[in-house]
């Protein structure tokens, strides 16, 4: 840790000492309406032959800066998504600040409605893909819809995936720290008009934690006006049970102070049905057939609150505080299942029913404090501190009754569990950025500290309550991670290169009282990354990127406790899990900025996987998380978006992929088994403008998945047909929407595991067929850009 700190401050000192600036040029990029053009490319060229001298990008406010410029006469030019300014002649004799470089935004007149662009524009940068949607035909959709049709993004089981892996959603580089279900609810009510672009980062660079996969970063439009805005929103969904949501947010801005506060309340009642079949066997074949019909009714009341405060002391110094809180005072679940047991020829042997009641209370409170300082030159320093407190209490009562084939009672089996889990997360981080000549330089250090305590008490309730020590446990887990990184990037006329290296030292210790074992881990790892982009000409470009990544076990997976459906079906943690390391390669070819061909290959290494095993001797079915022996993924993706007419935009995405995973077969004579699958994913979504003024929108989508690999399981094919309508009125202050999902009833399919002495499958049917209504009303100066954000700590990802 000390060595990393020394390296950081040595680099900071050398950057100021070795590259003192002679002349500096500052300015802004604007359009013809004097609005800033954020993230425009700016070029300094020689007057004689227009050879590139320096290149840079404007910031989110359109401001740019060049340093270390030799005395002379130059051309200055700016461009953005295919539109370019006129060459501006400028003579550099001293530090110079100019006015604005103007990029004329081309507009097209359609039925008396002027639009800036008719289709989204995809721009490939050296380490990410930027999907520009501002003022396009799809910008009137919800944020969730825009993410769904971002190139390279697929949706499975209401979860967004990139490269067949779960992805993380950010808003303005702040992670949305919610579950996948809550992320969807948030983004469905976040207006697409606020979105400037979506950044797809397949392999996050060295400045991001080594842990984690791809990132979807929503960049919102900027409006620096002073004032107040707010909104109220409500939602109603009719599935098996009705569901409601209510929320409000408020934003106030002065010249120095920004304050955002929000609150959402979601009372829900969900229904889920699971049909499962297990064929227990021995060396002679099937010995017993178990069929289960499992109903779940889950009631939750969830409160989410957040506040963000930014205070600008001056142009150089800003202090930001973000706090988020989620309170779930009660989550009650009623489980009922009926299991029939047949012999090898299909004759009924017996049956049993299980009723289970589970009660949870959970809170998750976090705070984040950041100080940012901008030096006189282009250097920036950021200091961040973070704290999270997570607490979960869970009680469960399970009662099973066994019957003979004729229905007469045989016996019962009853037990209960009391569980508690408390987790504290503390992090501290320093980041520094600067230019070393015309090379952009980033460096930083970070420390994170996690303390987790879990306790489970198991009681047998057949007669009196009896504590069972060997099924109870106290588990303590502590983890410390020290990290440092640096990154260098440079742009030429046709080439862009970025490279970086991250180093992490991890110290962890897990203690299980029941099994009297201590699992200590200490490892130092390096995580290199490389990005290369070559623009061959205006029609063709190639890019390549590579990174090494890390997957740490989730805290819940390390917890050795069991969560029961009944005494013969349960899920248990694994304190012996080890981190998994992966190598990620991507190669892309882009044609005419419209056709995108992506080939990816991923060596997942000892991937952490949740597997299901049947114990044929004791007739037990258990889920357990373990490290795979090896796993690989590769595929070819093609995406294309096209405006068929002025009112009809078609998005298409096709993925052909291969997945394989080799794992230890805990319940078989063979040591290992390789499960693999070749599949295809197709997404065709139509976005329709149904009124001349653009306030009435429609959507019709079809998604097909041929199958999917889930550890030891293979999921069968699924199809989802959706339709939606959205109407804005009262000068866009009010928005009313309605949508329907799974119109064909084919969104859910069987998942099967059949190999060696394992033969089981299940079909989960949640409330995927539903109609949803939403309403949002904006008041105040609702076009203000707010500072709403969530805390972006990778350590929080591993919370349950």
Tell me what pLDDT residue 11 has. 43
Dist. CA 428–CA 765, nearest whole Å = 43
Average pLDDT over residues 503-511: 89
Q: How confident is the model at residue 751 (pLDDT cuts 50, 70, 90)?
A: very high
**Hey, is 235 helix, strand or coil?**
strand
Lowest mean pLDDT among 127-136, 303-312, 539-548: 127-136
Tell me what pLDDT residue 614 has. 92
pLDDT tens for 160-177 read: 777 667 787 777 666 654
DSSP 221: P
Lowest mean pLDDT among 140-144, 274-278, 713-717: 140-144
Tell me what pLDDT residue 698 has. 87
Tell me what pLDDT residue 19 has. 41
β-strand pairing of 215-220 with 195-201: antiparallel
Residue 659 pLDDT > 90: yes
Dist. CA 742–CA 723, nearest whole Å = 9
- Are the C-beta atoms of 81 and 553 separated by less than 8 Å? no
- Are the C-beta atoms of 108 and 115 separated by less than 8 Å? yes
Lowest mean pLDDT among 87-101, 441-455, 600-614: 87-101
Q: How confident is the model at residue 16 (pLDDT cuts 50, 70, 90)?
A: very low
Could you tell me which residues come within 8 angstroms of residue 49 by beta carbon, excluding any fewer than 6 positions away?
none
Tell me what pLDDT residue 183 has. 65
Distance set, CA 517 to CA 422, 455, 509 (Å): 20, 16, 10
pLDDT tens for 314-342 read: 888 999 998 888 888 989 999 999 999 99
| Residue of 265, 256, 374 lying closest to 309 (CA atoms) | 256
DSSP 211: B
pLDDT tens for 695-706 read: 888 889 898 999
Dist. CA 573–CA 779, nearest whole Å = 48
Tell me what pLDDT residue 699 has. 86
- Are the C-beta atoms of 596 and 648 separated by less than 8 Å? no
Residue 731 pLDDT > 90: no
Average pLDDT, the chain: 82
Residue 646 pLDDT > 60: yes
pLDDT tens for 418-430 read: 999 898 989 999 9
β-strand pairing of 473-491 with 466-467: unpaired
pLDDT tens for 192-222 read: 666 788 888 888 888 877 777 788 888 876 5
Residue 615 pLDDT > 60: yes
DSSP 67: -
Residue 21 pLDDT > 60: no
Residue 403 pLDDT > 90: yes
Half-sphere exposure of 299 (CA within 13 A, CB side): 7
Q: How confident is the model at residue 81 (pLDDT cuts 50, 70, 90)?
A: low
| More confident position, 403 or 775 | 403
Q: How confident is the model at residue 12 (pLDDT cuts 50, 70, 90)?
A: very low
Half-sphere exposure of 654 (CA within 13 A, CB side): 5
pLDDT > 90 in the chain, percent: 32
Could you tell me which residues come within 8 angstroms of residue 443 by beta carbon, excluding any fewer than 6 positions away?
7, 8, 11, 12, 431, 432, 433, 484, 485, 486, 487
pTM for this predicted structure: 0.73
Residue 125 pLDDT > 80: no
- Are the C-beta atoms of 378 and 406 separated by less than 8 Å? no
pLDDT tens for 754-783 read: 999 999 999 999 888 999 888 888 877 654
| More confident position, 558 or 424 | 424
Tell me what pLDDT residue 4 has. 44
| Residue of 28, 64, 71 lying closest to 491 (CA atoms) | 64
Tell me what pLDDT residue 226 has. 56
Q: How confident is the model at residue 121 (pLDDT cuts 50, 70, 90)?
A: low
Average pLDDT over residues 60-80: 83
DSSP 194: G
Residue 93 pLDDT > 60: yes
Average pLDDT over residues 615-626: 91
Tell me what pLDDT residue 69 has. 86
Residue 793 pLDDT > 60: no
pLDDT tens for 249-265 read: 888 888 888 888 888 88
Helix or strand run (H / E) with residue 210: none
Average pLDDT over residues 281-308: 91
pLDDT tens for 223-250 read: 444 577 788 888 888 888 998 888 888 8
Q: How confident is the model at residue 141 (pLDDT cuts 50, 70, 90)?
A: low
- Are the C-beta atoms of 625 and 574 separated by less than 8 Å? yes
Lowest mean pLDDT among 346-360, 640-654, 744-758, 765-779: 640-654
């Amino acid at each position: 840790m000390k060595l990393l700190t020394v390296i950081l401050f040595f680099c900071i000192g050398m950057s100021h000492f070795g590259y003192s600036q002679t002349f500096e040029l500052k300015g802004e990029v604007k359009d013809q309406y004097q609005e800033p053009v954020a993230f425009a490319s700016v070029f300094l060229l020689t007057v004689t032959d227009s050879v590139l001298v320096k290149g840079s990008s404007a910031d989110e406010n359109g401001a740019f800066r060049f340093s270390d410029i030799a005395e002379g006469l130059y051309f200055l030019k700016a461009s953005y998504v295919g539109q370019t300014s006129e060459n501006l002649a400028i003579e550099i004799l001293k530090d110079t600040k100019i006015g604005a470089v103007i990029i004329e935004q081309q507009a097209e007149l359609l039925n008396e409605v002027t639009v800036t662009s008719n289709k989204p524009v995809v721009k490939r940068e050296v380490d990410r893909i930027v999907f520009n949607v501002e003022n396009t035909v799809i910008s009137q959709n919800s944020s969730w819809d825009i993410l769904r049709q971002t190139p390279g993004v697929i949706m499975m089981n209401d979860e967004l995936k990139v490269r067949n892996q779960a992805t993380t959603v950010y808003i303005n580089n702040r992670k949305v720290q919610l579950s996948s279900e809550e992320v969807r609810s948030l983004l469905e009510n976040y207006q697409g008009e606020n979105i400037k672009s979506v950044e797809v980062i397949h392999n996050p660079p060295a400045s991001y934690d080594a842990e984690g996969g791809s990132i979807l970063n929503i960049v919102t439009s900027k409006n620096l006006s002073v004032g107040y805005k707010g909104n109220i929103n409500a939602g109603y969904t009719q599935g098996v049970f009705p569901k409601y949501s209510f929320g409000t947010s408020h934003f106030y801005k002065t010249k120095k102070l920004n304050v955002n506060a929000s609150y959402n309340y979601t009372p829900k009642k969900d229904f889920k049905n699971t049909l499962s079949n297990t064929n227990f066997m021995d060396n002679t074949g099937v010995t017993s057939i178990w069929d289960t019909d499992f109903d779940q009714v889950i009631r939750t009341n969830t409160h989410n609150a957040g506040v963000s405060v930014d205070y600008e002391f001056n142009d150089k110094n800003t202090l930001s505080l973000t706090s988020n809180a989620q309170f779930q005072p009660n989550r009650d679940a009623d489980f009922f299942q009926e299991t029939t047991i047949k012999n090898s020829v299909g004759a009924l042997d017996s049956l049993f029913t299980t009723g289970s009641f589970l009660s949870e209370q959970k809170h998750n409170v976090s705070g984040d404090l950041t100080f940012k300082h901008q030096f006189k030159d282009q250097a920036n320093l950021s200091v961040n501190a973070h704290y999270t407190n997570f607490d979960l209490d869970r009680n469960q009562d399970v009662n099973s009754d066994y019957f003979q084939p004729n229905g007469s009672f045989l016996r019962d089996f009853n037990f209960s569990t009391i569980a508690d889990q408390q987790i504290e997360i503390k992090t501290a981080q320093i980041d520094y950025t600067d230019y070393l000549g015309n090379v952009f330089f980033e460096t930083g250090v970070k420390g994170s500290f996690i303390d987790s305590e879990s306790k489970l008490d198991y009681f047998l309730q057949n007669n009196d309550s009896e504590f069972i020590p060997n099924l109870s446990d106290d588990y303590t887990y502590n983890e410390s991670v020290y990290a440092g990184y640096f990154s260098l990037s440079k742009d030429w006329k046709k080439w862009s290169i970025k490279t970086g290296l991250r180093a992490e030292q991890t110290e962890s210790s897990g203690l299980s009282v029941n099994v009297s074992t201590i699992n200590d881990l200490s490892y130092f790892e390096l995580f290199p990354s490389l990005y290369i982009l070559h623009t061959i000409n205006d029609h063709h470009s190639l890019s390549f990127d590579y990174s090494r990544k890390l997957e740490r076990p989730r805290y819940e997976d390390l917890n050795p406790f069991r969560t029961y459906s009944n005494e013969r079906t349960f899920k248990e943690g694994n304190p012996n899990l080890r981190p998994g390391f992966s190598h990620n390669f991507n190669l892309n070819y882009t044609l005419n900025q419209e056709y995108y061909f992506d080939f990816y290959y991923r060596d997942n290494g000892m991937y952490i996987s949740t597997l299901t095993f049947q114990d044929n001797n004791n007739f037990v079915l258990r889920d357990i998380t373990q490290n795979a022996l090896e796993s690989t993924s590769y595929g070819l993706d093609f995406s294309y978006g096209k405006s068929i007419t002025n009112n009809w935009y078609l998005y298409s995405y096709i993925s052909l992929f291969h997945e394989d995973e080799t794992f230890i077969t805990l319940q078989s004579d063979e040591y290992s088994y390789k499960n693999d699958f070749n599949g295809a994913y197709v997404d065709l979504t139509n976005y329709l403008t149904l009124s001349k003024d653009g306030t009435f929108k429609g959507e019709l989508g079809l998604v097909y998945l041929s199958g999917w690999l889930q550890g030891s399981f293979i999921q069968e094919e699924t199809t989802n047909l959706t339709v939606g309508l959205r109407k804005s009125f009262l000068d866009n202050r009010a928005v009313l929407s309605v949508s329907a999902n799974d119109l064909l009833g084919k969104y859910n399919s069987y998942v099967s595991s059949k190999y060696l002495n394992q033969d089981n499958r299940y079909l989960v049917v949640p409330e995927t067929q539903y109609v949803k209504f939403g309403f949002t009303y904006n008041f105040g100066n609702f076009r203000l850009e707010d500072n709403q954000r969530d805390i972006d700590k990778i350590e929080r990802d591993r919370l349950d």
